Structure 1
Amino acid sequence: MLTIDRATYDAIIAHARRDHPDEACGVVAGPIGSDRPARFIPMLNAAMSPTFYEFDSGDLLKLYREMDDNDEEPVVIYHSHTATEAYPSRTDINLAAEPGAHYVLVSTRDGADAEGTPIDFRSYRISGGEVIEEEVRVVERYTDSSTPE
């Protein structure tokens, strides 16, 4: 199960809507071993495409150095689908390189890019080509460093 705070959940959705019709992408880092999304990091989709996302290699290298310096890891890796459901494509599955991360997909299809419109927000574990959907629990805030409220 992915437990995520409301502010981060809302920020991911806002980023997906803002970048529509191109796919949005980013990372939410958290303390190593915590499984707690803590630091929202919207990234530029270097592909600038409505059907594909790609992190800029320089930005990604900088991000991984920052996370290493901060004893963080990628807890959530997210991107949007602009014309299809929030389910990993074959390309998404093949590129999933962080087996411990939650892969969040947000669909902005059918007008969901408009503020106030319901949006499809789903999370998956992807490892070795296997996709397992998991429950998403949104909390208002975390009560301490490890336990969500």
Structure 2
Amino acid sequence: MLTLTQALYDQIVGHARQDHPDEACGVVAGPAGTDRPERFIPMLNAARSPTFYEFDSKDLLKLYRELDDRDEDPVIVYHSHTATEAYPSRTDVTYANEPGAHYVLVSTADKDGLGEFQFRSYRIVEGVITEEEVQVVEAY
């Protein structure tokens, strides 16, 4: 189960809505070895695409150095789908290289009248997708 604060939930959703119609992407870091998302890190979608996201390689290198310096792990890796449901695509599964992370997908298809808003979380390990419950709390 993914547990996150209302503030983090709102930041992820806000970023997804702000970048619509392009996909938004980012990370929520937490203390290394924990499953506690704490620090919201919005990233730039280098692809600038409504159907695909890509972290800029320089930004990604900077992020991982920063996480290492702060003794943090990427607890949540998130991105949005702008015209489809919040379910991992084959490309999303291919890019899922953090076996301990929660992969959050936000569908902003509701903004264009193409579907309903969704916020869903998955574990993706060795190509296997497992949806998990999301619990939003006021504080930890």
- CA-to-aligned-CA distance 1:89-139 (integer Å, 9 cap, x gap): 0000011000000000000003279xxxx7200000001100000000000
- CA-to-aligned-CA distance 1:27-49 (integer Å, 9 cap, x gap): 00000111000000000000000
Structure 1 counterpart of 2:126, from 116, 125, 128: 128
Q: What is the SS of the residue equivalent to 2:22?
A: coil
Identity among equivalent pairs (%): 74
- The question of 1:86 aligning with 2:86 is answered yes
1:46-57 alignment runs, 5 A limit: 46-57=46-57
Cα distance change of structure 1 residues 11 and 112 upon mapping to structure 2, 3 Å threshold: farther
Mapped to 2, the partners of 1:121 and 1:33 lie a distance apart of 25
Structure 2 stretches lacking a partner, 5+ long: none
Structure 1 stretches lacking a partner, 5+ long: 143-149
| C-alpha contact (below 8 Å) 2:110/2:117 kept by paired residues | no
1:1-149 alignment runs, 5 A limit: 1-111=1-111, 119-142=117-140
Instruction: State the TM-score, normalized to the length of structure 2.
Output: 0.96
| C-alpha contact (below 8 Å) 1:26/1:79 kept by paired residues | yes
Cα distance change of structure 1 residues 112 and 136 upon mapping to structure 2, 3 Å threshold: farther
Mapped to 2, the partners of 1:15 and 1:137 lie a distance apart of 19
Mapped to 2, the partners of 1:111 and 1:76 lie a distance apart of 24
